[in-house]
Homo-oligomer: A and B are copies of this chain.
Amino acid sequence: MTSLAVAPATTRAPRVKETDVLGSLTKVCEAHGLGEMSRQLVSIGELVRWDMAAIEGSLSGLPLRADVVGQSAGHLVDLGGKRLRPMCVALAARLGSGFGPAAHELAVSVELVHCATLLHDDVVDMGDTRRGAPAARVVYGNAASIFAGDWLLVEALRRVASAGVPEALTLLLDIIDEMIRGEAVQLESRGRLDLPASTYFEIVEAKTAALFRWAMVAGGRAGQLSASHLNALERYGRHLGVAFQLVDDLLDYEGQDHVTGKQPFADLREGKMTYPLILALERDASLRPLLEQVVTLGADAVLEPTVGAGLLEAMQRTGAAEESRGLARERCAQAVACLDALDDSPAKDALITVAHATVHREK
């Protein structure tokens, strides 16, 4: 009968520093000569650096048990990541009454939900690497990763319940339902080269954009924003989420391995047709045999150099890459336009910069 007893937390040195969160984006902007955006990112840093440091502190201080399930959860959470969803919560809260304890719990929770889905995804996809390191399932096994995902979900919901922000918990349960629907559609579409673009966007809206929507709405509710402002923030989150995923899809083959932590065309090797691949095949049907060769290889197969080069060339030649990037820019612009409803403030400026930076990220 120890349900309420807290097991001793394992002591873990956080591997992510608060400066990493925006640092990589700043570096990218500098490298691209985007001086203005680089300055804006520094100013976001000033606005939310302590929020993000506090969130990171909670993430590295999770009450994980020393068993294999706790280690599996800790392994993934400690690998870091962009922490973009918690930042959305923090900035949304700062649009209103500020980043208080409730917003803090919601920000931690959104990252825990994200990590829970990654743990289950890695088991489902049999992925061997995650964030440039061995996936938790490789280190601690599939079973531990399944239960670790369950635990992170429960811990997230517990924190949302404790935050006491009206509707935040029931909205999150609806959002997770939607995310699972996205997983289901993706599962049923696996290996399907003729995936319609509409199905691709259905998956992205549900699997990725839904949680961004919640991050914005939950943060906004913690900041006591009005219904119309919450509505604007939800739309911002939706566009940002879609843009984020489009860039992710491009980085799946454009990114440099040491930055993204993945081998190119991992999505395709897992049987997932992304938007740029759908466009390329639409425009050049002769690509089908090449795609068929890759689609069943598995996430961790090594691609033959000629096959990889052929695919890369086709993405450029058909204009699929450029159009995908263009759409990502467009969705970011739509995200920014949603913020028109809000008065000017440093947090609003920061959300505008986050949207632009999302398109320019390299991992």
CB pair A173 B161 closer than 8 Å: yes
CB pair A146 B120 closer than 8 Å: yes
CB pair A180 B69 closer than 8 Å: yes
A16 at the interface (CB under 8 A from B): no
A161 to B151, CA, bound (A): 19
CB pair A177 B153 closer than 8 Å: no
Q: Which chain B residue shows the least CB distance to A235?
A: B1
Q: Which of A57-104 contact B (CB under 8 A)?
A: 65, 67-70
CB pair A1 B176 closer than 8 Å: no
- Which listed residue (B143, B174, B188, B213) contacts A68, Cβ 8 A? B188
CB pair B153 A153 closer than 8 Å: yes
Contact with B along A117-154 (1 / 0, CB 8 A): 00010011000000000000000011110110111011
Contact with B along A176-190 (1 / 0, CB 8 A): 111011011101100
CB pair B150 A124 closer than 8 Å: no
Q: A68-B184, A181-B67 are in contact. Are A173 and B150 (CB under 8 A)?
A: no
Q: Which residues of B contact A221 (CB under 8 A)?
A: none
A352 to chain B minimum Cβ distance, whole angstroms, is 22
Q: Which residues of B contact A149 (CB under 8 A)?
A: 150
A170 to B146, CA, bound (A): 22
A288 at the interface (CB under 8 A from B): no
A177 to B210, CA, bound (A): 25
A267 to chain B minimum Cβ distance, whole angstroms, is 16
A286 at the interface (CB under 8 A from B): no
Q: A65-B181, A173-B154 are in contact. Are A146 and B161 (CB under 8 A)?
A: no
A4 at the interface (CB under 8 A from B): yes
Q: Which residues of B contact A65 (CB under 8 A)?
A: 181, 184
CB pair A176 B147 closer than 8 Å: no
- Which listed residue (B3, B70, B184, B234) contacts A184, Cβ 8 A? B70
- Which listed residue (B7, B174, B183) contacts A69, Cβ 8 A? B183
- Which listed residue (B4, B173, B188) contacts A158, Cβ 8 A? B173
CB pair B154 A176 closer than 8 Å: yes
A225 at the interface (CB under 8 A from B): no
A351 at the interface (CB under 8 A from B): no
**Ordered nearest first, which 6 A-B pairs have the shortest CB separation?**
A69-B184, A67-B184, A124-B143, A3-B174, A158-B173, A3-B178
A selection of 9 A-B contacts at a CB cut-off of 8 Å is A1-B238, A3-B175, A67-B187, A67-B188, A120-B146, A120-B150, A154-B173, A154-B177, A157-B157
